[in-house]
Amino acid sequence: MKTTHHSEYLKLKSVFIKPSKNAFVSNINLDQQWQELNFLSQPHFDTAINEYKIFEDFIKKKGIDIYHFPFDNTVTIDSIYCRDASIATNFGMILCNMGKVGRINEPKSQRKVYNDFNIPVLGEIKSPGTLEGGDVAWLDENTLAVGHTYRTNDEGISQLKQLLEPKGIEIIIVELPHYKGKMNVFHLMSIFSPVAKDLAVVYSPLMPIKFRNELIHRGFNFVEVANEEFESMGCNVLAIAPKKCIMVAGNPKTQELLINAGCEVELYKGEEISIKGGGGPTCLTRPLLRTN
């Protein structure tokens, strides 16, 4: 059995998460932060706790090893979306430098945890470079796609290349559109979620033609998210194994298309922990090891 960090869809063996109680802390904390951080509305703390328990219990039942990022008073409620602050590689973790100012302390917070767990750190993205984990997705074990967005800039991508290209990793840059502007959360994984070696959930209206054609050239088939399900996170799908997926409830067209493509789909109600903050199941998790 081979283990790797370089996959978005192989069988998930271990994952870091940040439970809502550790990130949201209290209704008072939520009230103080949600507007400044551009949440759609204020999450309700107790309901978020219940939603997150269901989400975490589902992962536990699959036999996946779960590790928690703890409470840290230097970070905000956005830290629940723990994928964004680091990238897992076979050579060690890469700590990001957040493009969203309110999240700037998250990589440092995660570094403390990785040190505690004796998880090696390969390097970090430093200012003026910015890079967020939601803009990064493995296409295969030797190819990493990176979105050029308002959260991930040219300098950040250049530093990522310096860390990974000497180790034989090809970096494909994906030029993403303006969409709703600098204040909106719009990552590469907002429009692209691989769920098997040859299958990805995509939102083609916002997908660059060059990248879409590259995926087709590599043999990918697409589950096309309908316009009305894009904003409700129809494209944000977490694979816990090939064609075994978790997604936010409320996207029946995408769910049906996934099932028709041979996928098993599990749903969680994510109104408080996902919809309001713009972070689906991929955002809520920092996957570590996967096996084939």
pLDDT digits (tens, 9 = 90+) for 138-179: 999 999 999 999 999 999 999 999 999 999 999 999 999 999
- Classified as helix, coil or strand, 228 is helix
Domains and CATH numbers, the chain: 3-291 (3.75.10.10)
What pLDDT, on a 0 to 100 scale, did the predictor assign at position 36? 96
Identity (one letter) of the amino acid at 234? G
What pLDDT, on a 0 to 100 scale, did the predictor assign at position 214? 98
Matching residue, tokens 């870091």: 16
End-to-end Cα, the chain, rounded Å = 6
pLDDT tens digits, 9-22: 999 999 999 999 99
Q: Residue 157: what are its φ and ψ, rounded to 5°?
A: -65, -40
Asked whether 66 and 60 are in contact (CB, 8 A), the reply is yes
CA distances from 281 to 24, 132, 277 (A): 17, 16, 12
| CA 112/CA 105 separation, integer angstroms | 11
| CA 125/CA 155 separation, integer angstroms | 9
Strand ranges inside 32-169, DSSP E:
65-68, 86-89, 92-95, 121-124, 136-140, 143-148
What pLDDT, on a 0 to 100 scale, did the predictor assign at position 183? 83
Identity (one letter) of the amino acid at 3? T
Q: pTM score, two decimals?
A: 0.97
Q: Name residues of the chain where pLDDT drops below 50.
A: none
